[in-house]
Amino acid sequence: MISKTLRAFGVLMACLGVTVAVPAAAHNVASIHEGLAGHSTAMALNVNHGCKGSPIVGLRLQVPDGITDAKAAYDPHWTIEYKMRKLSEPIDFHGRMINEVVGEIIWKDPKNGSLPANSWYPFKFRMTLPNEPNRVLHLKNITLCEEGTDPYIDMPEVALDVNDEDFAAKTWAFMTATATPAPFLVIRAAEKKQYPWEWTPAQARGEREGTRQRQARAD
């Protein structure tokens, strides 16, 4: 959480015309900043350094609520483990009922030795994003090191809202006020479903919905 002390300090520095920030690029960050609602989306969590000089030996990624399909990409450098999360009630998943989903992806036991503390590494995975346009989806994660951990799990005190006129400023304040913010991406509305066999005839022709009706009225 962003502490009141940090926020007050930031306001004071802004009033003095001084910029003091933790470089956002030094955090663990998502490789994409937007994704389409309902689409299976490939991405990576970029780990940019070790833990206070200690080499990297793994990563734990918490799969956000609302995501029922998550899977790590094959990576020969790591042993990949999944921890499942029970659902409150079964759901239909591609024609079959399931009562648990992946709740956490863990990369561990590096097969070629730990990664240098000053290196960066893309931990790749895919998730089917929930059908919640404009949701800010946080990806809580913990870097595992030979000595200690870096938990990128801090959340904003007030949820980020893309409809807020001050969204950009509040996002920057969140990302720079804490050393370990949970990275995030914004879910956007999709114009059509992901796969061709799910498209309408107009979508298959590459038309936007309603284009022919508007043309007909114009004629």
Residue 211 is predicted with a pLDDT of 53
**Alpha-carbon gap, residue 185 to 159, rounded angstroms:** 13
- Calpha distance 208→216 (Å, rounded): 14
CA angle 98–103–109, rounded 5-degree value: 125
Domain 4-188 class, CATH top level: mainly beta
* Residue-level pLDDT, tens digit, the chain, 219 residues: 433 433 333 333 333 333 344 455 578 999 999 999 999 999 999 999 999 999 999 999 999 999 999 999 999 999 999 999 999 999 888 888 999 999 999 999 999 999 999 999 999 999 999 999 999 999 999 999 999 999 999 999 999 999 999 999 999 999 998 999 999 999 999 999 999 999 999 999 998 765 555 555 555
Looking at residue 20, what is its pLDDT?
40
Tell me the two tokens of residue 186: 């914004």
pLDDT of 204: 93
CA torsion 163-45-81-90 (nearest 10°) is 20
- Tell me the C-alpha distance between 36 and 189, whole Å: 6
Beta bridge mates, 134: none
- For residue 25, the model assigns a pLDDT of 54
> Is residue 117 within 8 Å of residue 54, measured between CB atoms?
yes
Contact 72, 60 (CB under 8 A): no
The DSSP bridge pattern shows strands 121-128 and 40-47 to be antiparallel
User: Using CB atoms within 10 A of its CB, is residue 182 exposed (0-12), middle (13-18) or buried (19+)?
Assistant: buried
The pLDDT value given to residue 81: 98
pLDDT of residue 216: 52
The β-bridge relationship of strands 136-138 and 184-188 is antiparallel
Phi and psi dihedrals of 42, rounded to 5? -85, 140
Render pLDDT for 42-60 as a digit per residue (tens, 0 to 9). Answer: 999 999 999 999 999 999 9
Tokens found for residue 122? 């893309």
What is the structure's pLDDT at 218? Answer: 54
Of 65, 82, 61, 83, which is closest to residue 140 (Cα–Cα)? 61
Task: Note whether 117 and 56 are within 8 A (CB).
Answer: yes
Query: Are 83 and 103 spatial neighbours (Cβ–Cβ below 8 Å)?
Result: yes
CB 103, CB 123: distance < 8 Å: no
- The per-residue pLDDT for 92 is 87
